[in-house]
Structure 1
Amino acid sequence: MPSTPRIAPAVHPAVIELRQYTLRPGRRDELIELFDREFVETQEATGMLVLGQFRDLDDPDRFVWLRGFTDMETRREALSAFYGGPVWAAHGPRANATMVDSDDVLLLRPLPVGADAGSGFAVSPSERGREGSAAPERGGVPKRFVAVSLWHFPPGDEDGPALIHDRLVPALRETGPAPLAVLATEPADNTFPRLPVRTGENVVAVITSYPDEQAHRRHLADATDHHPLVRDEILPAVERRQSAAPRHLRLTPTARSLVR
């Protein structure tokens, strides 16, 4: 455990990292076991919040995770304490040995700024599974499914993100579960350059949880088939503004993920 006094992590983080790691073949479960055992409470002891850890269903060698901070200065202090501390010194080399790339990182904040109801995460570390617990399954299939949709717009464009937040998300709420969070690019400079983040981005991330992948598929079908405004007006308007096709992550949470 770190020698510094424990700091309560932010329960409603205003700065969120979405981190996607490419791993060496066959080593994802090794990293997850190490991460869930050594890197959850020890990161939170410095003032950050480990929001979620996930397996990417479309890539067996990809690990995705989320962590949050109160603000950018707290992020700098927390990351400095953790990566300069004894836990990372002891276990960081083994974690790094599983990775090919760890620089695919989006720095995000709730959209709009100020985090209106439903736009940012609201979780508590007390809800996390205990160390060593198994992820719930049904017939060998994970019970929980988390969808992350990443919508890309030209830098400086405010209308594209507004379309997602003001029009698409309300329509999705009418036909299925409300998103856990709607996040947009945090434009502040990286306060901890030792860990790179993607720059020049204008991304909106919509993160939603489902009982299973079939529920997610039904929701998408209902949103287009039973909500013609989405199909005929909202999505075409988004497509006209976007700078690249959206990317959809299909994730299953680990046993100790808060977001599930």
Structure 2
Amino acid sequence: MSIVELRQYTLHPGARDTLIELFEGEFVAGQEAVGIGLGGRFRDLDDPDRFVWLRSFPDLASRAPMLGAFYSGPVWQAHREAANATMADSDDVLLLRGPGFAAQAGEVVTLTICHLADSVAAAHVERTLADGALGVHRTEHAENTFPALPVREDAEVVLWFTPGDHRPEHAGRPVERVEVLRLEHV
């Protein structure tokens, strides 16, 4: 299992395509060049000002050096002002343990994020996921080793992807709150 960041960006109105163009043209190759795995990169079908993406690291120890190499490197330095100008908020980040997840261009998937009371509830939800769940991830409780980029430390989640526009059932599960995002891979 890898260390994965689920990053949800709130963008300024009309800026999503600009950020996606930067991502696909510059940031994918730039991050992969320093060893960061880039998984799904998605448009939120219900919010035109949201961009959701995942990146992964082999382990927690490699995360800080890889992020440092990218953010101090030439690709980010050349394009950071343009990227930051698209973002209203980039701090909704979950640090997770899981396999990562990628989809095909244009593929629609549903991301279900179950917010739970504690790790016992998380273990129960993880064991009892609906059929067809892909890319199951769970909160990684570890220190943020790259504090220049905040991660949410207040979350206990289990999340997963399902193909298509799938509305999951949660009856009888110890779930405090559920977020369901309909996403299209860029």
TMscore range, shorter length: over 0.9
Q: Which has the higher contact order (CA 8 A, sep 6+)?
A: 2
Matches within 5 A, 1:1-260: 14-110=2-98, 120-121=99-100, 135-136=105-106, 144-154=107-117, 157-167=118-128, 169=129, 172-173=130-131, 178-210=132-164, 213=165, 216=166, 220=168, 235-238=170-173, 241-243=174-176, 245-254=177-186
2:180 corresponds to which letter in structure 1? H
Cα separation, partners in 2 of 1:181 and 1:61, compared to 1, 3 Å: same
Question: How many pairs are equivalent?
Answer: 186
Q: Which TM-score applies when normalising by structure 2?
A: 0.92
2:126 corresponds to which letter in structure 1? H
**Any idea what SS the aligned residue of 2:88 has?**
strand
Q: Which structure features the higher share of helix residues? A: 1
Q: Point out 4+ residue stretches in structure 1 off by more than 3 angstroms.
A: none
Q: Which TM-score applies when normalising by structure 1?
A: 0.67
Question: Post-superposition shift, 1:14?
Answer: 1.1
**Any idea what SS the aligned residue of 1:40 has?**
helix
- Contact 1:147/1:250, CA 8 A, preserved across alignment: yes
Identity of matched residues, %: 49
Aligned equivalents of 1:27, 1:122: Cα separation in 2: 25
2:14 corresponds to which letter in structure 1? G
Question: Post-superposition shift, 1:202?
Answer: 0.6
Which structure has the larger Rg over C-alpha atoms?
A: 1
- Contact 2:39/2:101, CA 8 A, preserved across alignment: no
Root-mean-square deviation (CA, aligned residues, Å) is 1.9
Q: Which structure features the higher share of strand residues? A: 2
Cα separation, partners in 2 of 1:148 and 1:122, compared to 1, 3 Å: closer
Aligned equivalents of 1:68, 1:47: Cα separation in 2: 9
Unaligned runs of 5+ in 1: 1-12, 111-119, 130-134, 137-143, 225-234, 255-260
- Contact 2:6/2:93, CA 8 A, preserved across alignment: yes
